[in-house]
Amino acid sequence: MQAVQVISLTLLCAVATSAQVISFGRCPKPAVQANFDSSRYIGKWYEIQKLPTNFQKGECGTATYSPKSPGVIGVFNKELLKDGTINSIAGSAKVKNPEEPAKLEVSFNGTPPGPYWVLSTDYQGHSLVYGCQEFGVFRGELAWILSREPTLPDETLEELHSILSAAGVDASKMVPTNQDRNYCSPMEE
């Protein structure tokens, strides 16, 4: 029994270092955006809310998607750190199965790919993204609510939270991202 506890604690520590929301149990399998069209998803998105992560330490987060090749989207994420510097990273998102184009796998700088599932998008206003990986008896979850503008109506946020909740994701753990234009102005330079 002690070996199982050591292995579980080791896995929990590994998941915690990537700072996802950690829960017991298997990953939920939420429905994804039907007929996802990556060409309509291309462009700049503002991060409105997210499940906390260790790899995102700033505010004013944006994600810019660009076409690379069939089934592959370029990803460029940017955020403003507390010291006023801009942190950015480039990567790519690939469609794993052409039958399910809203289920992408994203990787940055040679990192192992992680799930990036588009659960809901209207392409012009909002996007709800979810990812989950299993580590033994634990799961690590990631989620983002994105918008084409720095704000999103409360009723849209409520609708997207209800999609997460219906999938078994604790939407109450979502944290807002500061997108105040005055504070975020260094990002526009």
Q: Which CATH number goes with the domain that contains 129?
A: 2.40.128.20
Sequence-ordered list of residues with C-beta below 8 angstroms from that of 148, at least 6 positions apart, any chain: 43, 44, 45, 46, 124, 125, 126
pLDDT digits (tens, 9 = 90+) for 91-131: 999 998 999 999 999 999 878 899 999 999 999 999 999 99
Sequence-ordered list of residues with C-beta below 8 angstroms from that of 83, at least 6 positions apart, any chain: none
Q: What is the DSSP string of 55-89?
A: S---EEEEEEEEEEETTEEEEEEEEE-TTS-EEEE
Domain region containing 167:
2-188
Whether the model pTM is above 0.85: yes
pLDDT digits (tens, 9 = 90+) for 49-60: 999 988 888 999
- How many domains are there within the chain? 1
- Give the other-Cβ count within 10 Å of 156's Cβ: 18
Structure tokens, 120: 């809901």
Strand bridging mode 72-80 / 126-135: unpaired
Q: Which amino acid is at 76?
A: F
